[in-house]
Structure 1
Amino acid sequence: MSDIERRKREHIHVVLSGAAKHSLPAGFDALRFRHNALPEVDYEAIDLSTRFMGKPLRLPYLASSMTGGPDAAARINRAIAEAAQQLGFAMGVGSQRISLTTPERFGLNLELRRIAPDALILGNLGAVQLTHGMGLEEARRAVDELGADGLILHLNPLQEALQPEGDRNWHGVEAAISRLTRVLPVPVIAKEVGSGISAEVARRLADCGVAAIDVAGSGGTSWAAVEGKRAAGEAGEALGEIFRDWGIPTATCLAEVRAALPDMPLIASGGLRHGLDGAKAVRLGANLLGQAAALLPAAINGPEAVIAHVEAFATALRIACLATGSRNLTELGRAAVC
């Protein structure tokens, strides 16, 4: 087993254990919808469809980036792909670095496109890798090996700083993103991994040419805590605990970035627990709603479990539409709040 494989396996184990959550919430509880007791809306006719990156989706849901390496990856990705095709939501794979640097593919290949020919599928690379030996060629391969509709570049400076084998030199990453967006034939999405993207950074990313931003704020999985749990020795674990709750809450990120960039497509991820949180994220400006750790147990259990999980999320989102008198996501985005 390579070091990357071992690290990815450890990541999944720690996340599934529940030992690496932020202890502070994502901020959605502070927002309350104003209840509409006379909605004049047919529940069955509520339209949750949307378009993202030019592709139609029946649900505004993203099975967010989870894993790209261990032996469970192929099974997880197949389960999500089957469910995405059936329900009409988007999926993003975990980091493809391992599949680009080893002979193994771990399910990160065109099989996902064959399973989900109509789904929005997003590839994934670490942005810092663009200054550590990866460039346009690897980005093209990441897209081509999946038949992906776009490429996520994840931003994780805190995680890398706490990871013993992490890449800590982030000088030049912004320029590298800018170069890539100019030449890659598919849209590029910038994504944090749980510490959030501020309005200031979002503007810089927009100037770099990214097509969408996943704010991925705090309130869900803490990758500082994950790396602390992985660390050898008490000092490393203590450092992870110091930074466990570092970050900008997801709700705050959404409000800030939407105000700064009114037309930028936004993904809300980081601590979304259910469809009501999703509804609040839409009200704050999100176009797509992402879950990773919350979906992981279902993904390990197979496509039926993923379908059940996403349908439950969609049911709560639909009820929020009814109770605010919203016939669709556009109206939900303007729903009255207390």
Structure 2
Amino acid sequence: MLIDRKKQHLDIVLGGVPVSATIGAGFDAIRFEHVALPEIDMSDIDLSTRFLGKEISAPFLVSSMTGGAEKAELINHNIAIACEAIGIPFAVGSQRVAIDTDADWGMNRALRRLAPSVPILANIGAAQLNTGYGIDQARRAVEMIDADALIIHLNPLQEAVQPEGDRNWAGLTGRIGELCAALHVPLVVKEVGAAISPTVAARLINLGVTIIDVAGAGGTSWAAVEAARARTPAEAAVASAFADWGQPTARAISSLRQAQPDIFIIGSGGVRNGVDAAKALRLGADLVGQAASVLRSATVSPEDVINHFEVMTAQLRVACFCTGSSNIAQLRSARLEAAPFTV
């Protein structure tokens, strides 16, 4: 049942069914002030940064996207090979199938052998902490892929509209806190497309969470995905009503950075290109994540994933050049203006 559901999710996202959020990510509402005299050499622009104690070539993350489907092994291996070649981190999808069954679908130490030098992030769902998961399962998720950190993903909307969803979320804050205290690697908490608000972030930070992926609205809508796989018109109607639920990614990044100046923020959700990535970094993200936009490339070959991020990197570099920014730190001070401008 779980494996079938994961396969359906992957097939829907890859199959051309409209599952993007009906609300934009918010990046089109802002633009950079163009610097016509940059006074820098574009070839000297440094896009490197550090994440989880490791140097990475650019502020990109391949976000969690696959779970227990048969294609997951191919996808994860292609991503691992590509990320090692590029020098950027990646996160695996939910490891629930690998933990609960004998099939790991590529969620094993082969990923670390393919990507020995970049950060790898493990992943389990918060809802599973109320269905028997605890520190043992969390450690297993980390150890099975030799991960540098563990993601706990928050998906209450998806669980609420999914026929098989786990809807008991009582007491999860405390259980996340227990993992924070007991786990030997950093805990990352992320949403899956509706954003983490500053209010919720403050609760997580008080528990000891130091990395938050806002994963705002504007990319894949898991409510729309669940509407596409609904068994009845009524189920589809309930799920589809929430296709625009959540805060746009741009707003979520900005709000969280203003509220929590020191927290490490991953900005994901509807990041379409390197210009969007530049805007996310300017608004306060430390790293920019992409999932669905990488997924199709990941089903083809490592070279396709590499090509995708070469374009992203080139676009980000041009954005830095045309704002007079020699590095990511300077980009964070580039001037922004509202768009579109009207008289």
The TM-score range, normalised by the shorter chain, is over 0.9
Aligned residue runs from structure 1 range 108-127, under 5 A:
108-127=107-126
Instruction: After superposition, give the CA deviation of every residue in 1:57-106 in whole Å (9 maximum; x if it has no partner).
Output: 11111110001211100000000001110111110000001000000110
Query: Using the alignment, how far apart are the partners of 1:234 and 1:200 within structure 2?
Result: 35
1:71 corresponds in structure 2 to 70
1:43 is displaced (CA, Å) by 1.1
1:253 corresponds in structure 2 to 252
Q: TM-score under structure 1 normalisation?
A: 0.98
How many residue pairs get aligned? The number is 336
Query: Using the alignment, how far apart are the partners of 1:9 and 1:19 within structure 2?
Result: 17
Q: 1:5 aligns with which of 3, 6, 9?
A: 3
Question: What is the one-letter code of the residue matched to 1:102?
Answer: T
Does residue 1:279 correspond to 2:278, yes or no? Answer: yes
Question: What is the one-letter code of the residue matched to 2:332?
Answer: G
1:11 is displaced (CA, Å) by 0.5
2:19 corresponds in structure 1 to 20
Q: TM-score under structure 2 normalisation?
A: 0.97
Are 1:68 and 1:108, in contact at CA under 8 Å, matched by a contact in 2? no
Query: Using the alignment, how far apart are the partners of 1:178 and 1:23 within structure 2?
Result: 34
2:46 corresponds in structure 1 to 47
1:251 is displaced (CA, Å) by 0.5
1:129 corresponds in structure 2 to 128
Aligned residue runs from structure 1 range 307-326, under 5 A:
307-326=306-325
Q: Helix, strand or coil: the match of 1:151?
A: strand
Instruction: After superposition, give the CA deviation of every residue in 1:121-142 in whole Å (9 maximum; x if it has no partner).
Output: 0000001111210000000000
Query: Using the alignment, how far apart are the partners of 2:178 and 2:113 within structure 1?
Result: 31
Query: Using the alignment, how far apart are the partners of 1:171 and 1:277 within structure 2?
Result: 36
Q: Helix, strand or coil: the match of 2:180?
A: helix
1:53 is displaced (CA, Å) by 2.0
1:163 corresponds in structure 2 to 162
1:266 corresponds in structure 2 to 265
Question: What is the one-letter code of the residue matched to 2:3?
Answer: E
1:211 is displaced (CA, Å) by 2.0
Q: Helix, strand or coil: the match of 2:32?
A: coil
1:119 is displaced (CA, Å) by 1.0
1:218 corresponds in structure 2 to 217
Are 1:121 and 1:149, in contact at CA under 8 Å, matched by a contact in 2? yes
Question: What is the one-letter code of the residue matched to 1:98?
Answer: V
Query: Using the alignment, how far apart are the partners of 2:89 and 2:311 within structure 1?
Result: 16
Point out where structure 1 has 5 or more consecutive residues left out of the alignment.
none
1:240 is displaced (CA, Å) by 1.5
Does residue 1:106 correspond to 2:105, yes or no? Answer: yes
Q: Runs of 4 or more off by more than 2 Å in structure 1?
A: none
Identity %: 51
2:341 corresponds in structure 1 to none
Does residue 1:81 correspond to 2:85, yes or no? Answer: no
